[in-house]
Structure formats: structure tokens, C-alpha cells
Amino acid sequence: MDLEAVMQELEALGKERTKKIYISNGAHEPLFGVATGAMKPIAKKIGINQALADELYDTGNYDAMYFAGIIADPKAMTAADFDRWMDSAYFYMLSDYVVAVTLAEADIAQEVADTWIASGEELKMSAGWSCYCWLLGNRPDVEFSADKLASMLETVKNTIHDAPERTKSAMNNFMYTVGVSFVPLHEMAVETAMAVGPVEMKREKKKSSILNAYENIQKEVDRGRIGFKRKYVRC
């Protein structure tokens, strides 16, 4: 399938109601409003195709950009490729759920995520912290440096309340994910989350969200899910 054929199939799957939901979360035209589950049959037909993924991502169409993440070949992408994708990710559903997810399957994931976290730019920082969440929730604990993650928890404790809004959310998720999925630092993550307390995330034209990593970790403790790892990062 070429770019035109994929775009036609995506357009046919678009729903006005889904489109409105995406727009309310920050998406803007062009987009069709395709439910992510509806993309699976097309993805099966295509398989992994990095060249097509790049073409789709470059359209600037939200649904095409999302689909690009599904068929991308993360191991074939360089740090420059990820930076290019990141530069076009104009809201959090792209930065955290397309770019960060794709990056999490690359061998260079941690080094790219580290540069984004250090960038001082809201969505890059958000994607960097989110990438660590996807990594920690999928890869074995031995692939991480406990000292490095401990230092990152310290950074969260000291800076989360003053961070940009989307970055706050990703940092909060990081505390939660370390607490649930990285057993060696479970206790430290719990202590950090307690020290941080509730985090207010302001949202445009919507009520603020109150994030509480401590409460959410405790729910997973009660369910006996500490040490949880998901089999796949991308669906």
C-alpha cells in the first residue's frame, strides 16, 4: 500500500465523534477521527514499513501520524529521526503516545529520552519522561541503572510542582511507574510520591486535574501488581 491508499483507508474509518474527542484533547486539522483499534487491520496488511511511516508522519494529519507510529521500525530510526518526529509532535497525544512509545522500542531510547528531559521544552520533557514509563513497564529491571533512576526520582521531587503542565503529568507517571514496575526502587518511589503529594495540572478550557502518584501506587500494591511488566509497548 502506498501513502495515498493508506490515507484513503484512514479517511473512510474517520468518525465525527472521535474527531471531536481528539480536538478537545488538543488535536487540530487535518485529522479524520479514527479510533486506534480500527487501524489494526490496515497495520496487519502493511507490517513494518519505515519509509511509509515517515511519509505518513510528514502529512501532519493526526491519524496518519498516529498510524505512522504503529508501522514504524524504531530500530531503524536514528536520534535525528526521533528529533524530527518530536519537532512535529504538537500536542501530548503525539509526543507521549506516538513518539515516546516508538522511541521506547529503540536501542537508543534512554540516551534520546535523557536529552529531551534536559531540553527545558514542555513536550520534549514530557516525551522523555513518558519514554521511561514505557521502558520501565516493559523491559527487565537489569536494563536500568538504579542510581540513575534514583537521581531522576530526586529531580521529580524537587521540580515537579514548578514544571510545565504536560511535563508534570509525565513526571507523575514516572513516579508511579517506578513504584509499580521497577521493584528495586519501589520503596523510594513510594517515599518520593508521599513527599510530592497531590500535583495540580492545569488544562486549557478544562478543570484542573489533581494527580496523586502515591494513591495510585497503593492501589497497585493492594492488587498485588508490584513488578508488573507489559509484554508489548506498541499495540
Domain ranges (residues) in the chain: 1-72, 95-235
Backbone CA torsion sign across 165, 151, 142, 190: negative
Distance of alpha carbon 211 from alpha carbon 202, whole angstroms: 11
- pLDDT-based confidence at 206, cuts 50/70/90? confident
- pLDDT-based confidence at 179, cuts 50/70/90? very high
Distance of alpha carbon 125 from alpha carbon 115, whole angstroms: 9
pTM of the entire predicted model: 0.96
Distance of alpha carbon 155 from alpha carbon 85, whole angstroms: 26
Q: Cα 39 to the chain's mean position, in Å?
A: 18
HSE, side-chain direction, 13 A CA sphere, residue 220: 19
The share of the chain scoring above pLDDT 90, in percent, equals 96
How distant, in Å, are the alpha carbons of 77, 103, 235 from that of 81? 6, 10, 21
pLDDT in tens, 48-92: 999 999 999 999 999 999 999 999 999 999 999 999 999 999 999
145, amino acid identity: S
